[in-house]
């Protein structure tokens, strides 16, 4: 994986559907199949979960009714294994 490269979200937290009921504001599974750019690695920012990357979606995350608390708009901490590089 490399910063600045384009990826597609194949799963969220390892699954394609949420487990049980999920608050609509946290239903990030709605973003599956969306593209974006890898912005940073958890290691670089001392983020506690080293298996995640900061991923900035091309779509409007908040416009879909989802929470996004990062400084970068439309960016979420995503598991590395949830992403597939676009070639």
Tally of CB atoms within 10 A around 7: 21
pLDDT digits (tens, 9 = 90+) for 68-84: 988 899 999 999 999 99
* Res. 44: pLDDT tops 90: no
pLDDT digits (tens, 9 = 90+) for 46-63: 777 789 999 999 999 999
Task: Using alpha carbons, select from 65, 79, 52, 85 the residue that is nearest to residue 24.
Answer: 65
């Amino acid at each position: 994986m490399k910063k600045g490269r384009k990826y597609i979200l194949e799963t969220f937290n390892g699954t394609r559907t949420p487990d049980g009921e999920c608050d609509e504001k946290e239903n990030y599974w709605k973003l599956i199949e969306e593209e974006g750019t890898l912005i940073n690695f958890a290691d670089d920012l001392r983020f506690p979960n080293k298996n995640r990357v900061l991923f900035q979606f091309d779509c409007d995350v908040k416009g879909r009714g989802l929470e996004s608390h990062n400084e970068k708009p439309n960016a979420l901490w995503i598991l590395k294994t949830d992403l597939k590089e676009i070639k």
